[in-house]
């Protein structure tokens, strides 16, 4: 038996299209039955890249790889434990499937001949050639090997995983460090940066090569030119080890490069790591207009970017200087109040923290502005819906500040909000 599909041929149309059957007087239906030997036993779909495993059963490569990656070491059909997870292309079945597709004419697209994934042996061989060329400073061969890795990696994710599993990440780090002072190696280093984005996380030896003064200086140079791979690399390196923050902070131009590329969320995360791990960097970032740039990103950015921007603002507000500059931005409070109920729970934690810090240490004008903008009721809703314990404490304190301000200044009729305010703890 085989899987049945229905092909709909529209009246007057020149091309047949595989679609679910639809009743219409203007349509003819033709049933296509896929032979069972052409179907993957896992998905029951037509196989595009049939491979044989140790049990002798043929599967579509993508499906059986997912099966193995899930931790299974058995054959899905026979349930026998496999001696090896190696897969061998089934060229005979593939050619039969291709011939069958051709015989169906325009009813089915011809299954293309798949590219055979690289083996561990091939990955190690390419890696070895790159390392040897790097050690002798052979720029031409390094370019050749890196371009080959790039091409193979772009062909399939399996190739990328194979490279990563066979130590290519470390060799790429060594290559980058070796050519980081070579003014004529920009294209090579740019490609290495791309390949390195596939290799994280990398070990301590790889980090040591990428965070050397010459390597970090070159990476910052790429960052200044808007290279997204450089931005990703910096973010990953800073998240791996706090010591990398101190190394990066010593590189000329890094603060300007990060603020300039702040629209890349990777740079936003890097700024957060730098301010958190090295608070004295806050002043330099303030001089470059970090607060204004971060606040602008909150206006219309997607949720994930808002989360990062609020983290940065929260870190800035740890210092007196930072809180003063944040208060000085007229958009801050209106944006915070507007977004209270429109962002993720993670982002709310940072938002409440920012509001709490600038209100608690301010002169009361911030509390009044928050009230005027409608923060009170939104914060009460946050308590009703529920939030983390730390956030809940800050929300409660903010509401108490607002309640005191309303009583002292006659801002509103407090009795109107007494029902909502019952969620707050009474002062001891």
Higher pLDDT: 102 or 371? It is: 371
CB within 8 A of 350, min separation 6: which ones?
Answer: 307, 310, 311, 313, 314
Q: Tens digit of pLDDT for each residue in 139-176?
A: 999 999 999 999 999 988 889 989 999 999 999 999 99
Q: What is the pLDDT of residue 153?
A: 92
In this model, does residue 374 exceed pLDDT 70?
yes
In order of 30, 36, 350, 375, 384, the CA distances from 341 in angstroms are 53, 53, 13, 10, 12
Domain map (residue ranges) of the chain = 34-102, 115-198, 296-411
In this model, does residue 5 exceed pLDDT 70?
no
Q: What is the pLDDT of residue 102?
A: 83
Q: What is the pLDDT of residue 21?
A: 43
In this model, does residue 16 exceed pLDDT 90?
no
pTM: 0.73
CATH 3.40.50.2300 holds for 34-102: no
Considering only 212-216, 230-234, 416-420, which range has the smallest mean pLDDT? 416-420
Region 336-358 average pLDDT:
93
Q: What is the pLDDT of residue 13?
A: 36
CATH 1.25.10.10 holds for 296-411: yes
Higher pLDDT: 52 or 17? It is: 52
Q: What is the pLDDT of residue 174?
A: 97
With vertex at residue 392, the alpha carbon angle to CA 350 and CA 325, rounded to the nearest 5 degrees, is 35
- Number of other CB atoms surrounding residue 304 within 10 Å: 12
34-102 shares its CATH topology with 296-411: no
In this model, does residue 14 exceed pLDDT 50?
no
Region 252-257 average pLDDT:
94
The model's confidence at residue 368, banded by pLDDT at 50, 70 and 90, is: very high
Q: Tens digit of pLDDT for each residue in 376-426?
A: 999 999 988 888 888 999 999 999 999 998 888 766 543 344 334 444 444
Distance CA 194, CA 189 (A): 9
């Amino acid at each position: 038996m085989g899987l049945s599909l229905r092909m709909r041929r529209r009246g007057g149309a020149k091309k047949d299209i595989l679609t679910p059957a639809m009743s219409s007087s203007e349509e003819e239906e033709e049933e296509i039955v896929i032979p069972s030997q052409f179907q993957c036993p896992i998905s029951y779909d037509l196989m595009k890249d049939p491979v044989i495993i140790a049990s002798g059963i043929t599967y579509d490569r993508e499906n059986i790889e997912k099966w193995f990656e899930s931790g299974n070491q058995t054959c899905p059909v026979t349930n026998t434990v496999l001696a090896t997870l190696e897969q061998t292309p089934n060229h005979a079945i593939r050619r039969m499937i291709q011939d069958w597709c051709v015989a169906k004419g325009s009813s089915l697209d011809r299954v293309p001949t798949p590219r055979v994934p690289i083996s561990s042996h091939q990955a190690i061989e390419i890696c070895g050639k790159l390392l040897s060329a790097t050690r002798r400073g052979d720029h031409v061969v390094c370019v050749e090997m890196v371009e080959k890795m790039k091409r193979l990696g772009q062909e399939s994710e399996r190739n990328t995983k194979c490279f990563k599993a066979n130590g290519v990440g470390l060799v790429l780090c060594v290559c980058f460090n070796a050519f980081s002072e070579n003014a004529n190696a920009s294209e090579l280093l740019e490609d290495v940066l791309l390949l390195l984005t596939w290799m994280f996380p990398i070990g301590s030896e790889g980090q040591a090569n990428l965070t050397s003064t010459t390597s970090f200086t070159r990476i910052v140079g790429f960052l200044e030119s808007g290279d997204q791979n450089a931005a990703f690399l910096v973010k990953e390196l800073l998240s791996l080890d706090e010591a990398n923050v101190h190394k990066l902070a010593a590189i000329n131009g890094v603060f300007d490069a990060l603020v300039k590329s702040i629209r890349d969320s990777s740079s936003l995360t890097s700024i957060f790591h730098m301010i958190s791990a090295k608070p004295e960097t806050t002043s330099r970032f303030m001089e470059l207009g970090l607060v204004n740039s971060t606040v602008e990103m909150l206006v219309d950015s997607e949720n994930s970017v808002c989360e990062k921007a609020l983290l940065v603002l929260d870190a800035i507000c740890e210092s007196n200087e930072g809180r003063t500059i944040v208060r000085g931005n007229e958009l801050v409070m209106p944006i915070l109040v507007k977004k209270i109920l429109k962002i993720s729970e993670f982002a709310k934690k940072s938002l409440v923290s920012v509001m709490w810090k600038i209100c608690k240490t301010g002169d009361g004008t911030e509390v009044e502005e928050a009230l005027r903008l409608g923060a009170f009721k939104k914060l009460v809703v946050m308590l009703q819906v529920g939030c983390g314990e730390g956030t809940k404490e800050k929300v409660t304190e903010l509401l108490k500040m607002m309640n005191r301000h309303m009583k002292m200044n006659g801002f509103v009729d407090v009795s109107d909000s007494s029902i909502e305010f019952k969620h707050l703890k009474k002062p001891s």
